[in-house]
């Protein structure tokens, strides 16, 4: 290939323009890097762009669930709703000058590491390009997961996932079957329950629900935060520390878990007077093993006369009904899946090819391990944000991603200062880290709580999670330590023959 026909080259390529991608873009711009962001959609926002279902909202306090460099004094609620978060991310991209760096409507098809040239060769929907460094900010909840139910293809009604909500469909008076009772379902079920005709909620396992301590922020608060931003930072810090001191303890302390469990059971008893329904809604695993959900209207919605909770799973789907495992047939005009996302089997892992030609999915083979949740052996110059090994079950995921961005930026600075072309975590260093990491995970409720969850890989190990506090994660990622890495200098340039 001649120089004239070489594809465009960038120093850094970021994939995805959600929270993580925008954090990376801002840091790269501040650092003066040559970069671009690929975004398959026509707008920034990631999950907060895609998830538009009724009732969609955050379950982390708004002041904490924000980018540290872009505080928002105008949050209207303690826990903001999706439209407000989406607007916030669009404002960040606009006001911080990130839009010119984003290539909208451009999807990554495949990225392969060229070990000779020591760069990534990338195929996109807009054509090929190359990059020295790849930052995957696609996130773990980008691709909806729909179970392969027998007979689903012959259903004559409407079918959609909560992350792909059909706003053109009028649910008034319809027979609706909801499959799944996770974080999305507990928000959209109460929102649509008053207008549907009949609703059947099919749950595999009931989640633990705690009260949603939400409230409207006052005009005075908003004015105060705008006039004195440091006050909002104090509130943000206090919210962060409260989650570290209390919610994190639930994950590691059986004694604290028992106290929290009593509070959750009190919430259930107070909102569900029927003992039979209450028994259906009582989890049989420890609180915290799966994601703890917050809601004040989930339980009341399930007690309404037009709602039935079925705990036996789906056996098959027929033309106009859903048959559950107990043999009962439930009439259905609409099936809505609240069944989560491809997390440990994210499609992006099948699009990234490492040094030996294997995809990340093939390399992991059901065990999605990564050093500090950021880098992976066999994949030089690849930094992943918000993915395997970094999820937090108790604090802001945005905080985690900003820690990872800081780690990647420090790596870029080191590469520049030492004329390093490629960094790759050593396989032995990664495995030693994984051994320590899994031992610590084994002591958390995610491993011993008696549940199956999206945190876990095919072997039952909760690979998605960071096994310690987020304060410890920040310390671990504050600086890029080159010791566990193989550092390679740029390849020699051979002069062309005359």
Query: Do residues 52 and 167 touch, judged by C-beta distance below 8 A?
Result: yes
Q: What is the DSSP letter of 216?
A: B
Query: Do residues 343 and 141 touch, judged by C-beta distance below 8 A?
Result: yes
Strand partners, 136: 15, 384
pLDDT mean for each 10 residues of the chain (498 residues): 73 97 98 97 96 96 96 96 98 98 97 97 97 93 88 96 96 97 96 98 95 95 96 95 88 94 97 97 95 96 98 95 96 96 80 96 88 96 90 86 97 97 97 91 91 81 87 95 94 45
What count of other Cβ atoms lies within 10 Å of the Cβ of residue 6? Answer: 11
pLDDT at 56: 97
d(CA 407, CA 264): 37
Provide CB contacts within 8 A for 64, sequence distance 6+. Answer: 236, 239, 240, 243, 395, 396, 398, 399
Q: What is the DSSP letter of 65?
A: S
Q: Quick check: helix, strand or coil at residue 39?
A: strand
Q: Quick check: helix, strand or coil at residue 98?
A: coil
Element (H, E) at 473: helix 470-477
Q: At what angle do helices 397-418 and 470-477 cross, to 10 degrees?
A: 10
Provide CB contacts within 8 A for 50, sequence distance 6+. Answer: 41, 142, 163, 164
**Which of 218, 224, 185 is closest to 77 using CA atoms?**
218
DSSP codes, 108-127: EEEEEEETTTTEEEEEETTE
Q: Which two tokens stand for residue 166?
A: 């059909």
3-state DSSP of 354-404 = CCCCCEHHHHHCCCCCCECCCECCCCCCEEECCCCCCECCCCCHHHHHHHH
Query: Do residues 280 and 303 touch, judged by C-beta distance below 8 A?
Result: no
Q: Which two tokens stand for residue 242?
A: 């409260």
Q: Which two tokens stand for residue 127?
A: 């054509």
**Which of 85, 43, 92 is closest to 65 using CA atoms?**
85
Query: Do residues 10 and 35 touch, judged by C-beta distance below 8 A?
Result: yes
Contacts of 65-71 with CB under 8 Å at 24 or more apart are: 65/396, 65/397, 65/398, 66/236, 66/398, 67/19, 67/22, 67/23, 67/26, 67/92, 67/398, 67/402, 68/399, 68/402, 69/26, 69/96, 70/26, 70/95, 70/96, 71/225, 71/229, 71/232, 71/233, 71/236
What count of other Cβ atoms lies within 10 Å of the Cβ of residue 110? Answer: 14
**Which of 387, 386, 368 is closest to 377 using CA atoms?**
368
pLDDT at 491: 66
d(CA 332, CA 312): 17
**pTM for the structure as a whole:** 0.94
Q: Which two tokens stand for residue 415?
A: 């590469």
Alpha helices in 272-354 (DSSP H): 275-280, 298-302
What count of other Cβ atoms lies within 10 Å of the Cβ of residue 120? Answer: 24
Q: Which two tokens stand for residue 387?
A: 């993915």
d(CA 40, CA 46): 10
Q: Which two tokens stand for residue 83?
A: 């439209």
């Amino acid at each position: 290939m001649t120089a004239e026909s070489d594809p465009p080259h960038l120093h850094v390529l970021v994939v995805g323009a959600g929270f993580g991608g925008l954090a990376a873009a801002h840091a790269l711009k501040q650092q003066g890097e040559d970069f671009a962001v690929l975004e398959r959609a026509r707008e920034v926002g990631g999950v907060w762009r895609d998830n538009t279902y009724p009732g969609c909202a955050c379950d982390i306090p708004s002041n904490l669930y924000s980018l540290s460099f872009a505080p928002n004094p105008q949050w209207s609620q303690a826990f903001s709703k999706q439209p407000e978060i989406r607007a916030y991310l669009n404002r960040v991209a606009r006001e911080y000058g990130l839009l010119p760096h984003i290539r909208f409507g451009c999807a990554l098809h495949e990225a392969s590491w060229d070990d000779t040239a020591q760069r990534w060769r990338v195929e996109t929907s807009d054509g090929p390009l190359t990059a020295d460094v790849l930052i995957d900010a696609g996130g773990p909840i980008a691709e909806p997961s729909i179970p392969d139910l027998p007979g689903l293809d012959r259903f004559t009604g409407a079918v959609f996932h909560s992350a792909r909500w059909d706003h053109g469909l009028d649910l008034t008076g319809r027979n609706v079957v909801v499959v799944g009772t996770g974080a999305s379902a507990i928000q959209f079920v109460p929102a649509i329950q008053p207008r549907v005709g009949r609703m059947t909620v099919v749950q595999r396992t009931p989640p633990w629900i705690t009260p949603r301590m939400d409230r409207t922020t006052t005009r005075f608060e908003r004015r105060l935060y705008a006039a004195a931003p440091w006050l909002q930072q104090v509130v943000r810090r206090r919210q962060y520390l409260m989650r570290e001191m209390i919610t994190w303890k639930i994950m590691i302390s059986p004694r604290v878990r028992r106290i929290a469990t009593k509070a959750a059971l009190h919430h259930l008893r107070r909102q569900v007077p029927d003992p039979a329904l209450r028994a259906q809604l009582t989890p049989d695993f420890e609180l915290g093993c799966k994601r703890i959900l917050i809601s004040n209207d989930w339980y009341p919605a399930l007690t309404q006369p037009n709602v039935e909770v079925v705990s036996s799973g789906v056996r098959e789907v027929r033309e106009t009904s859903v048959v559950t495992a107990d043999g009962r047939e439930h009439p259905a005009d609409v099936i809505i899946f609240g069944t989560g996302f491809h997390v440990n089997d994210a499609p992006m892992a099948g699009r990234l090819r490492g040094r030996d030609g294997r995809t990340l999915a093939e390399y992991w083979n059901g065990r999605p391990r990564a050093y500090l949740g950021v880098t992976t052996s066999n994949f030089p110059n690849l930094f992943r944000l918000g993915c395997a090994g970094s999820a937090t079950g108790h604090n802001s995921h945005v905080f985690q991603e900003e820690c990872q961005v800081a780690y990647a930026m420090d790596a870029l600075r080191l590469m520049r200062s030492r004329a390093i072309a490629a960094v790759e975590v050593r396989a032995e260093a990664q495995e030693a880290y994984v051994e320590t990491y899994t031992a610590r995970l084994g002591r958390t409720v995610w491993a011993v709580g008696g549940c199956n969850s999206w945190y876990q890989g095919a072997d039952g190990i909760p690979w998605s999670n960071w096994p310690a506090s987020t304060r410890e994660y920040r310390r671990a990622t504050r600086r890029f330590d080159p010791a566990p890495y193989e550092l390679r200098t740029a390849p020699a340039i051979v002069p062309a023959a005359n």
